[in-house]
């Protein structure tokens, strides 16, 4: 078997492991294996192939991986999805009661009901989203 083909197969195997673990280590080492495959394809000796594999793998794991991990992590205080709607302003489009109504939140129209079922809010009022329950905003 040609050296470049062996390195390419190692790289594919490492990518498969990465898909199973998702820790961004195996894919970085796979990059080293691909670099070694290129060296083998260009006629470099086995020692050079292993040297390139080692250096490129260490550089990718030590330099690229930390940067990639920073970009993948969501900061602790960042809210996404419906959690990001809590506390936002909601403009009443149709009277909101304890049973139903319509509001506009950030350009989207939502079904809504009053958080306090005994109150009602008239068209034009600006309320705050207290909670999202299913597809209904609880406002007050």
pLDDT on residue 83: 82
Contact (Cβ atoms closer than 8 angstroms) between residue 111 and residue 139: no
pLDDT given for residue 84 in this prediction? 85
Residue 7 exposure: Cα atoms within 13 Å on the Cβ side:
24
Residue in 48, 51, 110, 60 with CA at minimum distance from that of residue 85: 110
Q: What is the pLDDT of residue 49?
A: 96
Question: Distance (Å, rounded) from C-alpha 19 to C-alpha 95?
Answer: 50
Report, as ranges of residue numbers, the positions in the chain whose pLDDT lies below 70: 74, 76
The pLDDT score that the predictor gives to residue 104 is 96
All domains in the chain, ordered by first residue: 3-72 (no CATH), 81-139 (2.40.50.140)
The per-type count for the chain, helices as H runs and strands as E runs, is 4, 5
Q: Give the whole-angstrom CA distance, residue 35 versus residue 41.
A: 10
- How many whole angstroms separate alpha carbon 62 and alpha carbon 19? 20
pLDDT on residue 76? 66
The H or E element containing residue 91 is strand 89-94
- Structure confidence at residue 57 (pLDDT): 97
Q: What is the pLDDT at residue 81?
A: 80
């Amino acid at each position: 078997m040609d050296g470049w083909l062996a390195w390419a197969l190692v790289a594919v195997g490492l990518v498969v492991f990465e898909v199973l673990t998702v820790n961004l280590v195996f894919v970085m080492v796979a990059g080293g294996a691909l670099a070694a495959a290129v060296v083998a394809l260009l006629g470099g000796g086995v020692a050079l192939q292993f040297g390139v594999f080692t250096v490129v793998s260490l550089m990718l794991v030590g330099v690229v991986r930390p940067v990639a991990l920073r970009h993948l992590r969501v900061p602790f205080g960042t809210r996404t999805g419906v959690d990001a709607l809590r506390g936002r302003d909601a403009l009443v489009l149709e009277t909101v009661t304890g049973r139903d109504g319509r509001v506009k939140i950030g350009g989207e129209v939502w079904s809504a009901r009053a958080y306090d079922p005994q109150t009602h809010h008239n068209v034009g009022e600006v309320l705050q989203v207290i909670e999202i329950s299913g597809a209904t905003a609880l406002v007050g």
